[in-house]
Amino acid sequence: MNKRKSLGRSTVAVHGIGRPPMKLQPVNPPIVQSTNFVYEKTQQLKDYQAGDKSYYIYSRYDNPTVMEVEGHIAGLEKAEKALIFSSGMGAISSTITALVKGGDEIISGDTIYGGTFSLFRDILPKFGVKVRFFDSRGFDGAERLATERTKLLYIESPSNPNLKLTDLEKAAAFAKNHNLVSVIDSTFATAINQTPISFGIDLVIHSGSKYLSGSSDLICGAVAGSKALMGKVWTFRKLLGTNLDPSASFFLLKGIKTLSVRMEKHNENASKVAQFCEGHPRIKRVHYPGLKSHPQHELAKSQMNGFGGIVNIELKGGQAAAEKFADNLKLILNSVSLGGVESIASIPVLTSQYGMTDEELGRAEVTPSMVRISIGIEDIEDLLEDISQALEKI
């Protein structure tokens, strides 16, 4: 048999001939698109198993690109630790399942994203977890619902789709009094407009598919909080497999880098749209926390740094008027989701709250005549002109 002097072509194709040196740090983190990591000595693997987290083992557990993004989110949310997920729902379901077990109860605000509501109404009861809903603009209702089985308080502020607020300080105090973990979905605000952890909330959740990524091109989620709680959530992410891929994480980081400038523009444009819509003859009511007419405007000023990019308008003429308005928009897209640089109009009863009964919609105060407009970063004159012409056509 011939003695082989060099590696075969198939072997070289798989292993290469060595990696190029990289002594300087790149401006952007490398996308470590690798399922697994190589150990020079088995001892390193054993060190990892013993708790040395400076090693990686498998990208469903941890990955350097993913962790880089998590560091940015933890910093923004003033949290000890953050984790990112394959979707906002992945973040929510992994967090909730990490913190409750069969027989436990959750107290939740009654105006929350429809997907979260379905998880609470349809999935958690299968595992023996009961969710009770209250009007999270106050805590009297929650006081009446709390039992020794209650383990978690869940709120969304501002809420999807009608921008109701929860007093973050009161929520944190209520949770502490009853020994509950407090969890907030802060997707609408982002860390630029509010940092719930500074008010005493334990865990902050985001659908990163919205403002964090910011260009309607990613599905992802995030959770931030104390190291102790995040350790529990990490185990569930690992075992439920709700982790985000390294390439997607890189693009999420790209979005986060421009978050604060985008939010400034979203805040500014949405304020102007809300003011323009208020008092318009075709509009019954405008929901926007930045308006003096918002019943919780003073609370908004005390716990938010900006009022956000979402304006909810209730049209005169019911769902037919809402559909006509959406169909006649020329620049603003008639679509689902929110938080991108482009403006999007969406009819909640057909999108984010689709599948809820009339009674559930009534309790959440979501009406068929509502249009939720995610105001983008376009020129304000163009947005107002588009809204104005679509209103004229109702």
Give the catalytic positions in this structure.
Answer: 60, 113, 185, 210
Stretch that binds ligand PLP, among 2-10, 12-20, 87-95, 284-292 (CB under 6 A): 87-95
In sequence order, the β-bridge partners of residue 314 are 285, 370
C-beta closer to ligand PLP: residue 215 or 337: 337
Q: Among residue numbers 13 through 42, which ones bind ligand PLP (CB under 6 A)?
A: none
Choose which of 62, 70, 77, 185 interacts with ligand PLP (CB under 6 A): 185
On the question of a cis peptide bond just before residue 161, with omega within 30 degrees of 0, the verdict is yes
111 binds ligand PLP (CB under 6 A): no
Choose which of 67, 73, 89, 99 interacts with ligand PLP (CB under 6 A): 89
First CA to last CA distance, the chain: 86
Stretch that binds ligand PLP, among 84-92, 120-128, 129-137, 236-244 (CB under 6 A): 84-92
- Quote the least distance from Cβ 339 to ligand PLP, whole Å: 8
219 binds ligand PLP (CB under 6 A): yes
352 binds ligand PLP (CB under 6 A): yes
C-beta closer to ligand PLP: residue 56 or 208: 208
User: What span, in angstroms and rounded, lies between the C-alpha atoms of 189 and 209?
Assistant: 14
186 binds ligand PLP (CB under 6 A): no
C-beta closer to ligand PLP: residue 321 or 371: 371
User: What span, in angstroms and rounded, lies between the C-alpha atoms of 279 and 356?
Assistant: 30
193 binds ligand PLP (CB under 6 A): no
User: What span, in angstroms and rounded, lies between the C-alpha atoms of 341 and 87?
Assistant: 19
Residue 132's closest CA among 159, 110, 157? 110
Could you tell me the two tokens for 244?
A: 């985000």
- Quote the least distance from Cβ 183 to ligand PLP, whole Å: 12
Choose which of 113, 120, 133, 250 interacts with ligand PLP (CB under 6 A): 113
Inter-residue contact 255 to 222 (CB < 8 Å): no
Residue 214 gets the label, from left (phi > 0), alpha (psi -120 to 50) or beta, of left
Q: Among residue numbers 363 through 382, which ones bind ligand PLP (CB under 6 A)?
A: none
Q: Among residue numbers 199 through 218, which ones bind ligand PLP (CB under 6 A)?
A: 207, 209
Residues in the chain: 394
Choose which of 187, 343, 369, 374 interacts with ligand PLP (CB under 6 A): 187
Which residue in the shown chain puts its C-beta closest to ligand PLP?
Answer: 88
Cβ within 8 Å of residue 248, ≥6 positions away? 218, 220
Residue 209's closest CA among 352, 325, 79, 21? 352
How big is the site for ligand PLP, counted in residues (CB under 6 A)? 15
- Quote the least distance from Cβ 279 to ligand PLP, whole Å: 28
User: What span, in angstroms and rounded, lies between the C-alpha atoms of 203 and 206?
Assistant: 10
- Quote the least distance from Cβ 223 to ligand PLP, whole Å: 11
User: What span, in angstroms and rounded, lies between the C-alpha atoms of 211 and 180?
Assistant: 28
User: What span, in angstroms and rounded, lies between the C-alpha atoms of 208 and 221?
Assistant: 4
Phi, psi of 263 (to 5 degrees): -60, -35
Stretch that binds ligand PLP, among 36-44, 86-94, 99-107, 380-388 (CB under 6 A): 86-94
In sequence order, the β-bridge partners of residue 133 are 108
221 binds ligand PLP (CB under 6 A): yes
User: What span, in angstroms and rounded, lies between the C-alpha atoms of 155 and 143?
Assistant: 15
Phi, psi of 310 (to 5 degrees): -105, 130
Choose which of 59, 63, 65, 87 interacts with ligand PLP (CB under 6 A): 87
C-beta closer to ligand PLP: residue 157 or 367: 157
Q: 């769902």: which residue's tokens? A: 319
Choose which of 160, 216, 346, 353 interacts with ligand PLP (CB under 6 A): 160
Could you tell me the two tokens for 155?
A: 């709120």
Choose which of 109, 115, 196, 340 interacts with ligand PLP (CB under 6 A): 115
Inter-residue contact 89 to 120 (CB < 8 Å): no
Q: Which residues bind ligand PLP (CB under 6 A)?
A: 87-89, 113, 115, 156, 160, 185, 187, 207, 209, 219, 221, 337, 352
